[in-house]
A = this chain, B = another copy of it.
Amino acid sequence: MEKVLIFGHKSPDTDSICSSMVAEKLAKHYGLDAEAVRLGDLNNETEYILNHLRLEAPRKISEVEEGQKVILVDHNEKDQSVEGRDSAEVIGVIDHHRISAFETVSPLYYIAKPYGCTSTVLYEIFKRENIEIDKVTAQLMLSAIVSDTLLLKSPTCTEKDVEAFNELEKISGLNAKAYGLEMLKAGTDLSMYSADEIINLDAKEFTQNGKKAVIAQVNTADINDVFTRKDEIAFAMEKSISERDLDLYMFLVTDIINTNSKAVVLGNERSAVEKAFGKTIDENDSVFLEGVVSRKKQVLPQILEVL
């Protein structure tokens, strides 16, 4: 049987990694020869999770061959997906994002719901199809939900995420709050990363009206910690702008304790951010965004609107 590769987006976050591993189980349940893979290095948070759960990370790939059957989780947009996807065959998508820059020649399985986390969509499938959720699967899904909803505190968090979180905690054998805090904290340690790496830990590229934008995000327990490195971060962003011909680069530093963000904004379309939030970018190329923690809900649509 032909192998099916399952993966999340480039610069994979915890949801992309964990949901691809869970989707592998789902695909195997339906008799597919499936393998979860990843499109980039693990971030600290995901590294912590897999160590803690004693699981091996999926194999890393950089492209797919023509005709390769693939299932996408946690993304659908071309810019965020694997190299070579245009000539691959997408047989399924499980996602929780807007749909854009995605098209197929044939019908496919496409299950997307406006929940806080791909794993919550997967959880619902397991439940509705009466597929047993084993302990490890529950731990992976729970970790993804903690990560994407910042322990249920993000405005993207829905009732469905809370419901899944509560059920999965029982099966997982974990103390979700204590484990979740450790996990999130592990993700905020940026000390071993270069500025180049930091701006790529969770960077998503978008194209709107021919304008190319990247919105990157890191979590922190203290915004000032990250801003002590603002100069080298801005330098790395400028380099990326000229190398990738970007019109806008927004780097969000999100305080997961106080649920605010401060962003460094560069590029010739940086006024789009000022318009989107009615704020002025200061002389340090920065803007403080009170109450903003969700790129998907509180940043991206606002900027797309302006662009």
Contact = CB atoms under 8 A, between A and B. Distances in A.
Interface stretch (A32-40, A54-62, A100-108, A185-193): A100-108
Contact of A103 (B101, B107, B108, B115): B101
Contact of A102 (B99, B105, B113, B301): B99
A109 B160 CA distance: 13
Contacts of A304: 105
Contacts of A108: 98-99, 112, 114
Contact of A110 (B111, B115, B301): B111
A129 interface: yes
A305 B96 CA distance: 30
B107 A114 contact: yes
Given A128-B128, A128-B129, A129-B128, A107 B98 contact: yes
Scoring A107, A108, A115, A296 by chain B CB atoms within 10 A of each residue's CB, the highest score goes to A107
Nearest to A110: B112
A258 B303 CA distance: 55
A304 B106 CA distance: 10
Interface in A107-162: 107-115, 128-129
Interface string A154-191: 00000000000000000000000000000000000000
A105 B296 contact: no
Q: List the 4 closest A-B pairs by CB distance, nearest first.
A: A107-B114, A128-B128, A110-B112, A100-B103
